[in-house]
């Protein structure tokens, strides 16, 4: 990924580069922003296994300027980004860097993008673009402001039967 700038330039990945540096990740390396301990950009420890977390804020992936991190899942991290050509916000899902060499996981990530791109329903976010830049694989999707289903259920008391049926109808309609 490249830093957002009027002209596109390559990211300096040398150990002396500021504000970027390479941190050792087991037998692999990953780029992170230089951040204080405890920040989102540092590597998180999950049991005895490390999980790579990239801070791509202010970087460009294709035509997408990364604005901030929204969250993460099992295979990817999700960022809010601006699609510079159309001046609109999008969600960019970036494959975790520690999965880059696993062909099965790479194929699964690409299959997810292709499967979602073939769907068109108001209850399913649209896939806008799929790409790879400097070894970073990403899926750009429609950005929907608000809570997802997990956040809604976690923050609210259990929904009434009427609300639950309404939500399930929307899920079923999308399937």
In 5-129, where does DSSP find H-type helix? 103-117
Rounded to the nearest angstrom, the gap between the alpha carbon of residue 116 and the centroid of all alpha carbons in its chain is 15
Structure pTM?
Answer: 0.67
Residues 6+ apart with CB under 8 A from 35: 41, 42, 55
Distance CA 28, CA 97 (A): 9
pLDDT digits 0-9 by tens, 29-71: 333 333 333 333 333 333 334 455 678 999 999 999 999 999 8
- For 101-150, write each residue's pLDDT tens digit: 788 998 999 999 999 898 888 888 999 999 999 889 999 999 999 888 88
Measured distance CA(135)–CA(132) in Å, rounded: 6
Kind of pairing, strands 59-61 and 127-133?
unpaired
């Amino acid at each position: 990924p490249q830093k957002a700038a009027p002209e596109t330039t390559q990211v300096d990945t040398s150990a002396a580069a500021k504000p970027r540096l390479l941190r050792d990740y087991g037998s692999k390396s990953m780029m992170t922003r230089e951040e204080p301990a405890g920040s989102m950009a540092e590597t998180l420890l999950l049991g005895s296994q490390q999980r790579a977390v990239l801070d791509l804020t202010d970087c460009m992936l294709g035509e997408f300027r990364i604005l901030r991190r929204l969250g993460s899942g099992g295979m990817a991290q999700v960022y809010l980004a601006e699609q510079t050509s159309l001046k609109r916000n999008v969600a960019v899902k970036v494959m975790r860097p520690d999965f880059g060499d696993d062909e099965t996981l790479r194929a699964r990530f690409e299959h997810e993008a292709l499967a979602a791109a073939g769907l068109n329903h108001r209850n399913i976010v649209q896939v806008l673009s799929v790409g790879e830049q400097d070894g970073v694989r990403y899926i750009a999707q429609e950005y929907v402001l608000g809570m997802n289903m997990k956040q809604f259920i976690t923050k609210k008391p259990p929904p009434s039967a009427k609300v639950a049926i309404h939500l399930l109808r929307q899920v079923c309609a999308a399937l």
